[in-house]
Amino acid sequence: MSDSLSRAELNRRKLAHAQVSPRGALEHLSQRELTLLESRGAGGLHPLFRKCALAVLASGIEIDDAKLLFDTFSDFEIRIDREPFGVRLEVWNAPATAFVDGRMIEGVREHLFSVLRDIVYVATEVEAGRLELSTPAAITDAVFSILRNGRIFDARSPTNLVVCWGGHSISREEYVYTKRVGYELGLRGLDVATGCGPGAMKGPMKGAAIGHAKQRLTSGRYVGITEPGIIAAEPPNPIVNKLVILPDIEKRLEAFVRVGHGFVIFPGGVGTTEEILYLLGILLEPDNEDQPMPVIFTGPQSARSYFERIDRFIGTTLGSEALRRYRIIYDDAEAVARALVDGVEDVRTHRSRTDDAFAYNWRLRIPEGFQRPFEPTHEAMAALELRLDQPVHERAVNLRRAFSGLVAGNVKDSGIRAVEEHGPFRLRADRALMNAIEELLSSFAAEQRMKLEGEYRACYVIDERSS
C-alpha cells in the first residue's frame, strides 16, 4: 500500500472529539505536573505526551512508519482538564480504531493513562533528583523504580516471566507459530513480556491468554515494555495489561534483561537483531558467566534459513562462545515451553542460592556501553568502530548501536526524517564484518522483514573500513 493510500485511509479513520477519565490510577495531578504536561516549550512535556498518546490510540492500525502516522494525524490534539473529581483528557482528531460507538476501548484507556503515568513520573523524579542517571548503578536503580511505579512486579509469581522478542513484519505462518508457543507457555503458568507491538510481540500474548484461560489463571501478566522513540511504530497491542514506557531504548533493553527469567526469540528484522546483540553481549561478559538464562531461538520449519543466517552472523561477529548461550528449536512449541520451564527453575534456584531478587536481576552486570544512550545521527553512525580485532564486548556494543540506528532509519520518526534530509546512514566496517552485516540485511529486505507495507528503501550504506 502506498503512502498516499495509507494517508487517505488513515484520514478517514478520525474521531473529531472525545473525552476520557482515568479509572483506578492517576486520577489527580499536582499543579506542577499539570504545568509540565501543558507546557510546549523547553522542558515541557506536552510534545512528548502528545506523540506517545497518539501512538497508543493508533493501536490496531497496521502501520510501522512513525513519520507517516505523525504527519497524517498532525491535527491530533490532547488536553488535560482539571475537574472537581480529578482530571479528564480531551482528544481531537484521534484514530477512530481506539473507540467503539464513540467510547474509548478500555484497554486503550489503560494504555493512555500508563503513558501519562510514566512520562509524569520520570520527569518529576528526575527534576527532584530522585532518579539519577549519571552512573551505571544509578541507571539500574532508575529502571527498577520506573518498573515498580508501573506495577510490573508480582510477588505471587516471582519467577515466571518469559520475554518474547521478534519482528513486527513476519509471515502469517510465523505469526501463527508465535501464538502456538505462547499457548504452551500459558498452559504451564508462564507469563509473557514483549515489546508490546504487533506480529511476534502480539502472537505470544494471544496464545498465552488462551493457555491461561484453559488453566483458569486469571492473573496472567502480558507485559509491554516500550519507549517514546519506538512506540509509534509499534503501538501497544490490545492484549497488553501491564504497559510501561522507559525513557530510551537502552533503558528499555535493560528492563527486559532485568525482569526476564527466560527468552524466546522468533524471526524478526533489525530490531530483533539489536536485541539479540544486546542480550548475548551481556551474557558474554565474564562477570555473568555463572548466570543461568534460558535463551531459545525458534520458528516454524519455513524459518530455518532465517535462523541459519542469524546463527552464522552471531558466529562471525561474536564468536563461538556466543553460540553456546542459546538453543535453536524448529517447529516444536511444546519443546520450547518445556525448555523454558526447566530453565526458569534453574534461574529460581540460582537466585535463591545467591540471595538475588526473584523479580529483578540485580546481580547481572551490564557494561556501561550498553547503558549509555546512543543518538543515531549520521556522524555517530559513521564514527562507530566495527572491527573483528576489537574485544568482543566492545564489538557487541558497537554492533548493537549500529542496528539501533538502522531501526531508527526504518521506522522511527526522527530517524526517517534524518535519512530524508541527509541521505542514508553510512557504516564503516572491516571486510568480514561488512560482508556479514550486508548478507543479513539483504536477506531481511528480500524477505520483507524491514517494513510492513510498501517498497523498502535502504536507510544505510556500508563501506569497507581501511586498516
Instruction: Say yes or no: 156 and 96 in one domain.
Output: no
Grid-cell match 472537581, residue found: 84
pLDDT of residue 3: 40
What does the pLDDT read at residue 307? Answer: 96
User: What is the average pLDDT value for the chain, to the nearest integer?
Assistant: 88
Residue 4 confidence (pLDDT): 40
Nearest one of 246, 247, 345, 330 to 293, comparing CA atoms = 345
Can you give the pLDDT at residue 189? 94
Whether residues 405 and 274 share a domain: the answer is no
Q: Is residue 313 assigned to a domain?
A: yes
**Rounded Cα gap, residues 94 and 59, in angstroms:** 11
Domain boundaries, position 431: 370-464
- Mean pLDDT, to the nearest integer, of 109-128? 88
- Identify the pLDDT of residue 2: 38
In sequence order, the 6+-apart residues with CB closer than 8 A to the CB of 12 are: none
Could you report the per-residue pLDDT of 346-378, keeping only the tens digit for each?
999 999 999 999 999 999 999 999 999 999 999
3-class DSSP state for residue 270? helix
pLDDT of residue 362: 95
Alpha carbon 154 to its chain centroid, in Å, reads 21
- Domain for residue 138, yes or no? no
Same domain flag for 106 and 173: no
Domain co-membership, 212 together with 155: yes
Residue 444: band (very low, low, confident or very high) from pLDDT cuts 50, 70, 90: confident
Residue where a domain terminates, one of 344, 368, 392: 368
Q: Which amino acid appears at position 413 of this protein?
A: D
Please report the pLDDT score of residue 460 as a whole number: 85
Do 342 and 400 lie in a common domain? no
Residues 229 and 309 in one domain: yes
Q: β-strand 99-100 against 460-464: which pairing, if any?
A: unpaired
What share of the chain in percent tops pLDDT 90? 53
Q: Comparing 12-16, 120-124, 136-140, 410-414, which segment has the lowest mean pLDDT?
A: 12-16
Please report whether residue 146 resides in a domain: no
> Could you tell me if residue 141 is inside a domain?
no
Task: Output the CA–CA distances (angstroms, integers) from residue 333 to 99, 220, 300, 337, 428, in the order listed.
Answer: 35, 19, 9, 6, 39
The confidence band for 251, taking pLDDT boundaries of 50, 70 and 90, is very high
Would you say the C-alpha torsion 89, 90, 95, 99 has a positive or negative sign? positive
Q: Which of 311, 333, 368 is the last residue of a domain?
A: 368
- pLDDT band of residue 448 (cuts 50, 70, 90) is confident
**How crowded is the C-beta side of 88, counted as CA atoms within 13 Å?**
9
- For residue 438 the three cell numbers come to 550486508
Distances (CA, A) of 95 to 29, 70, 202, 335: 26, 11, 20, 41
142 pLDDT more than 60: yes
CA distance 47 to 36: 10
> What pLDDT score does 454 carry?
60
Same domain membership, residue 375 and residue 364: no
Q: Mean pLDDT over residues 50-75, rounded?
A: 80
Contact (Cβ atoms closer than 8 angstroms) between residue 146 and residue 136: no
The reply to whether 8 and 80 lie within a common domain is yes
The DSSP letter of residue 236 is P
State the DSSP code for 386. Answer: B
- Among 104-113, 212-221, 415-424, the range of highest mean pLDDT: 212-221
- Taking only the tens place, the pLDDT of each residue in 65-98 is 677 788 888 889 998 887 766 678 888 888 888 8
C-alpha span between 164 and 238 (Å, rounded): 16
Residue from 252, 325, 327, 328 nearest 284 by CA: 325
Angle, CA of 184, 147 and 246, to the nearest 5°: 100
Q: Are residues 252 and 233 in the same domain?
A: yes
- The DSSP line for 334-349 is HHHHHHHHHHHHHHHH
pLDDT at residue 314 tops 90: yes
Q: What are the cell numbers at 81?
A: 482538564
Percent with pLDDT over 70 in the chain: 91
Query: Cβ–Cβ contacts within 10 Å for residue 330, how many?
Result: 16
pLDDT at 429 over 70: yes
CA distance 270 to 276: 10
Residues 229, 356 within the same domain: yes
Instruction: Flag whether pLDDT at 402 surpasses 80.
Output: yes
Across the range 248-272, mean pLDDT stands at 95
pLDDT in tens, 29-38: 788 888 888 8
- 269 within some domain: yes
Both 31 and 155 in one domain: the answer is no
Whether residue 23 has pLDDT greater than 70: no
Residue 265 has pLDDT above 60, yes or no: yes
The dihedral over CA atoms of 203, 208, 211, 213, expressed in degrees to the nearest 10, equals -110
**Degrees, nearest 5: CA angle 49-408-461:** 160
> Given 100, 130, 160, which residue is the final one in a domain?
130
3-state SS, residue 460:
strand
* Predicted confidence (pLDDT) at residue 217 exceeds the cutoff of 80: yes
In which element (H, E) is residue 242 found?
strand 242-245
* Count of the separate structural domains present in the chain: 3
Task: Find all residues with CB under 8 Å of 197, minimum gap 6, and list them.
Answer: 168, 226, 230, 233, 234, 235, 236, 237
In a domain, 140, yes or no: no
pLDDT of residue 297: 98
Global pTM value: 0.90
Which pLDDT score, from 0 to 100, does residue 12 have?
A: 56
Q: Would you say residue 452 has pLDDT above 60?
A: no
Distances (CA, A) of 210 to 204, 328, 374: 10, 25, 39
Strands 99-100 and 425-429: unpaired
Any domain includes 52? yes
**Which CATH number covers residue 62?**
3.30.1850.10
**Exposure class string for 253-288: b at 16+ Cβ within 10 A, else e:** bbbbbbbbbbbbbbbbbbbbbbbbbbbbbbbbbeeb
Does residue 379 share a domain with residue 358?
Answer: no
| Inside any domain, residue 394 | yes
Nearest to 330 by CA among 291, 297, 354, 353: 297
Cα 37 to its chain centre, rounded Å, is 24
Looking up residue 328, the CATH number of its domain turns out to be: 3.40.50.450
Confidence of residue 281 (pLDDT cuts 50, 70, 90): very high
